[in-house]
Amino acid sequence: MQSTASVLSQLKSNYPQFSFKLGDNFLWSPSDNTIYYDKSIGFRPVLLLHELAHALLVHNSYDRDIQLITMERQAWDYTKELAPAYHITIPDDIIQSNLDSYRDWIHDRSTCPICQATGIQIEKSVYSCPACSYQWRVNEARTCALRRYELKT
Ligand SMILES: [Zn+2]
Ligand SMILES: [Zn+2]
């Protein structure tokens, strides 16, 4: 497997339309057309490619949390297509763990704090409970931070 530094320099020359910058997380930021990467949580080429996939798929906005899972799945599928050109292999458990973390996150957000029923997202940051009618706000969606990422390779 290639070093991330070498993959990074290849990506910079292959995709001059995007900026690549050191940041607090691995993150595709449409507003400044930048792919951020983080050295602290595993400075891994696969994560760089994953954010690049989001960028190339024009994952710039969404309306409902559930769409994020679809976008994640699409991004991983595309990451797999990009990977061979950079001699990168992607263990399936990384993808599963990442998708699971999104499902857990959505489950937490959508659970009614009063009665624990599953709420319905009625606006980008508002859920409503069909059982008790309680409404609650959620914060802005998470970034593509891969919190359960445990890369063993
Ligand atoms: Zn409720
Ligand atoms: Zn992602």
The predicted structure's pLDDT at residue 97: 87
Ligand 2 center to residue 92 CA distance, Å?
15
pLDDT by residue for the chain (153 residues), tens only, comes to 567 788 899 999 999 999 999 988 888 989 999 999 887 655 578 889 999 999 999 998 888 888 989 999 999 999 999 999 999 888 888 889 888 888 888 999 999 999 999 999 999 889 999 999 999 998 876 555 444 333 333
The residue among 75, 68, 18 whose CA lies nearest residue 50 is: 75
The predicted structure's pLDDT at residue 41: 58
The predicted structure's pLDDT at residue 15: 97
The predicted structure's pLDDT at residue 143: 57
User: Nearest 10 degrees: CA dihedral of 125, 52, 44, 93?
Assistant: 70
Ligand number nearest CA of 110 is 1
Alpha helices in 15-64 (DSSP H): 45-56
Query: What's the CA gap between 122 and 147, in Å, rounded?
Result: 27
Ligand 1 center to residue 123 CA distance, Å?
17
Ligand 2 center to residue 70 CA distance, Å?
10
